[in-house]
Amino acid sequence: MSDYVALDGLTLAYGKTVAVEGLDLSIAKGELITLLGPSGCGKSTTMRAIAGLMTPSAGRIVIDGRDVTRLPPSKREVGLVFQSYALFPHLTVYENVAFGLRLKSAPDLDAKVRDGLATVGLTEFADRAPRDLSGGQQQRVALARSLVMEPKVLLLDEPLSNLDARLRLEMRMELQRVQKETGITMVFVTHDQAEALALADRIVLMRDGAIEQMGTPEEIYSAPVSGFAADFIGFETILPDGAGGGLAWRPGAVVLGSGPNQGTVRGTAFAGERREYILDSPLGTIKADTPAGAAPLEIGQSVAFDLPRERAAHLARLD
Ligand code: ADP
Ligand code: MG
């Protein structure tokens, strides 16, 4: 495997707080990796270390064959896009995108800026001030500003979190297109499983500063390794298998209205296409849903249910 970016036994601490411990990750050239996990699991810390904003207490970082562990951010050829756009308010869109290139006295500045603006669809907006742009457009400027520097790796830390749902989807597709067009290696951080599944070539699921599971979106979606991974990716009913592991079902995999088990409806919620239910049962809490058209069950009602084996994900660990 070609390790274009390699994190090797990376340990990162804030004073005595160890945020990331012994992280190993290799990323191929042109790959789009997402770091997925709950708040506080160490995603941003890992990004900071790759960008050079934080020095590891152990381990090393290699980018394109060069050990960059001790290099300052400016020498790493890494771009970083945050959730906040951090544009210069007094500069036009054009000048914001040109800023880093001017610092480097880069040749062909105008062509590069125009090209960057075209890539993110902002050619018409070159002369505007950032305050006269929407949030999505401002995030595109931030993206163009990073892209024109031609970084070896582009790091995006929850870049879409400030956008509303519709714009988020649009920008996600935009990012995918830019990545395909430019072939740039990207590490994208999110706590949103849908975003990770839609974008990634490979998902790195993190938990408490370590990697819990790594795989393609299909693998992560259908074959979680642990209770934590299953829960995070939407398997809402998790039961022990009696052998130290577990069995997990998505709500849609639970059969309601027939089957060998009996439960009582504790809660119900209308969710558009589906109606969601929480059942109490001797097996534990069961989360199920039915198509919106099905006759609704009442709270307190007793209902038969089935947990089909063939629809279960088998978990090597329950925790
Ligand atoms: P994530 O981006 O996954 O939400 P972070 O990498 O920001 O998580 O944080 C990982 C851990 O490091 C958390 O426990 C967090 O409280 C801690 N942490 C993050 N930044 C700092 C800091 N500047 N000082 C001390 N602890 C921090
Ligand atoms: Mg973060």
**Residue-wise pLDDT tens digits, 223-265:** 999 999 999 999 999 999 999 999 999 999 999 999 999 999 9
**How does residue 83 score in pLDDT terms, banded at 50, 70 and 90?**
confident
Q: How far is the CA of 137 from the centre of ligand 2 (A)?
A: 22
The answer to whether residue 279 scores a pLDDT higher than 70 is yes
pLDDT (tens digit, 9 = 90+) per residue, 130-167? 999 998 899 999 999 999 999 999 999 999 888 888 88
- Mapped onto helix, strand or coil, the DSSP state of residue 33 is strand
The answer to whether residue 1 scores a pLDDT higher than 60 is no
Tokens of 191: 């706590």
- Mapped onto helix, strand or coil, the DSSP state of residue 130 is helix
Q: How far is CA 143 from CA 31, 56, 101, 117, 170, in A?
A: 17, 27, 14, 9, 14
Closest CA to 18 of 156, 209, 154: 209
The answer to whether residue 291 scores a pLDDT higher than 60 is yes
264 vs 147: CA distance, rounded Å: 55
**How does residue 292 score in pLDDT terms, banded at 50, 70 and 90?**
confident
Among protein residues, the one with the nearest Cα to ligand 1's atom 24 is: 14
Closest CA to 81 of 179, 176, 155: 155
The number of the ligand nearest the C-alpha atom of 23 reads: 1
Mention every residue, 6+ apart, whose C-beta is less than 8 A from residue 224: 213, 230, 232, 233, 235, 248, 313, 315
Q: How far is CA 154 from CA 14, 81, 150, 178, 231, in A?
A: 24, 8, 9, 12, 29
Model pLDDT, residue 86 = 85
Q: What is the rounded (10 degree) CA torsion for 46, 145, 163, 222?
A: -50
**Residue scoring higher pLDDT (219 or 292):** 219
| Burial zone of 102 (CB within 10 Å; 0-12 exposed, 13-18 middle, 19+ buried) | exposed
Atom of ligand 1 nearest to the CA of 14: 25
Tokens of 292: 């919106």
pTM here? Answer: 0.93
Whether the CB-CB separation of 61 and 10 falls below 8 Å is answered with: yes
Pocket test for ligand 1, best of 10, 20, 45, 204 (most atoms within 8 A of CB): 45
Mean pLDDT rounded to a whole number for the chain: 95
The answer to whether residue 29 scores a pLDDT higher than 60 is yes
Q: How far is the CA of 191 from the centre of ligand 2 (A)?
A: 8
Mention every residue, 6+ apart, whose C-beta is less than 8 A from residue 302: 262, 263, 264
Count helices and strands in the chain by DSSP H and E runs: 8, 17
3 vs 26: CA distance, rounded Å: 5
| Burial zone of 224 (CB within 10 Å; 0-12 exposed, 13-18 middle, 19+ buried) | buried
The answer to whether residue 93 scores a pLDDT higher than 80 is yes
Domains of the chain plus CATH, in order, are 5-222 (3.40.50.300), 237-315 (2.40.50.140)
* Farthest CA pair distance, the chain: 73
Chain-centroid distance of CA 72 in Å reads: 26
Q: Which residues have CB under 6 Å of ligand 1?
A: 14, 17, 19, 37, 39-45
pLDDT (tens digit, 9 = 90+) per residue, 163-188? 888 888 888 998 999 899 999 999 99
Mean per-residue pLDDT, 69-74: 95
Provide the residues around ligand 2 (an ion) whose CB is within 5 A: 44
Tokens of 51: 């960008």
The answer to whether residue 56 scores a pLDDT higher than 60 is yes
Among protein residues, the one with the nearest Cα to ligand 1's atom 15 is: 40
The answer to whether residue 2 scores a pLDDT higher than 70 is no
Mean per-residue pLDDT, 214-231: 98
Counting residues of the chain whose pLDDT is more than 90, the rounded percentage is 89
**How does residue 206 score in pLDDT terms, banded at 50, 70 and 90?**
very high
Among protein residues, the one with the nearest Cα to ligand 1's atom 5 is: 42
The answer to whether residue 5 scores a pLDDT higher than 60 is yes
161 vs 135: CA distance, rounded Å: 11
172 vs 158: CA distance, rounded Å: 11
114 vs 140: CA distance, rounded Å: 13
Q: Alpha helices, DSSP H only, in 87-210?
A: 93-103, 109-119, 135-147, 165-182, 193-199
